[in-house]
């Protein structure tokens, strides 16, 4: 279980468990360009579904923790200094200015083991983010994370996440989350 405290069809091929990151990068770049050009929300959502399929496959690959897509402005990627957690996140801005957030928390399970992946989706909510409850992967509010720092308490490792929520065209919120597994 992952807790947060307040705080078109595309095939992806792999060879011997390694995803071809260069091809994925080109495909993602093309999909983001199509989203940015689209003037119809339904089309943006369909293209975003293709992004999700690709990131689903990529996040399970052996190279997901160490690899970063350097040419993608629209895809946030941060890795913890201890190389145990990587976050891939993006937001889809709809024509009315609201955002939908997509986040993959990838936990490196160690040598020879497949990554554990937690998928989060969030949408704009009228209520403010509460600081007195634990949020889970099922009720995440949405944010784009730009920094991650591990710390230990009682032999348990936690991660401080710094993020931003583009709440509306006029309002952004900075967020500090604490992540535990």
pLDDT for position 40: 95
Quote the CA–CA distance of 57 and 43 in Å, as a whole number. 22
Quote the CA–CA distance of 100 and 29 in Å, as a whole number. 19
Quote the CA–CA distance of 95 and 166 in Å, as a whole number. 14
pLDDT for position 11: 38
pLDDT for position 54: 93
pLDDT for position 15: 39
Long-range CB contacts (< 8 A, 24+ apart) of 18-21?
Answer: 18/61, 18/62, 18/63, 19/57, 19/58, 19/61, 19/63, 19/64, 21/58, 21/63, 21/67, 21/69
Q: In which residue ranges of the chain is pLDDT below 70?
A: 1-21, 125-126, 169
pLDDT for position 137: 77
């Amino acid at each position: 279980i992952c807790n947060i405290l307040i705080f078109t069809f595309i095939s992806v091929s792999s060879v011997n468990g390694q995803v071809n990151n260069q091809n994925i990068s080109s495909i993602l770049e093309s999909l983001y360009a199509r989203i940015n050009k689209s003037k119809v929300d339904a089309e943006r959502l369909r293209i975003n579904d293709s992004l999700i399929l690709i990131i689903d496959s990529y996040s399970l690959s052996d190279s997901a923790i160490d690899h970063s897509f350097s040419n993608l402005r629209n895809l946030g990627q941060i890795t913890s200094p201890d190389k145990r957690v990587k976050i891939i996140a993006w937001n889809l801005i709809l024509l009315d200015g609201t955002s939908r957030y997509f986040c993959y928390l990838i936990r490196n399970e160690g040598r020879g083991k497949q990554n554990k992946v937690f998928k989060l989706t969030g949408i704009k909510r009228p209520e403010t983010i509460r600081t007195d409850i634990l949020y889970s992967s099922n009720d995440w509010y949405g944010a784009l994370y730009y920094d991650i720092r591990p710390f230990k308490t009682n032999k348990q490792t936690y991660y401080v996440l710094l993020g931003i929520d583009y709440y509306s065209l006029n309002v952004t919120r900075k967020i500090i989350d604490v992540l535990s597994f």
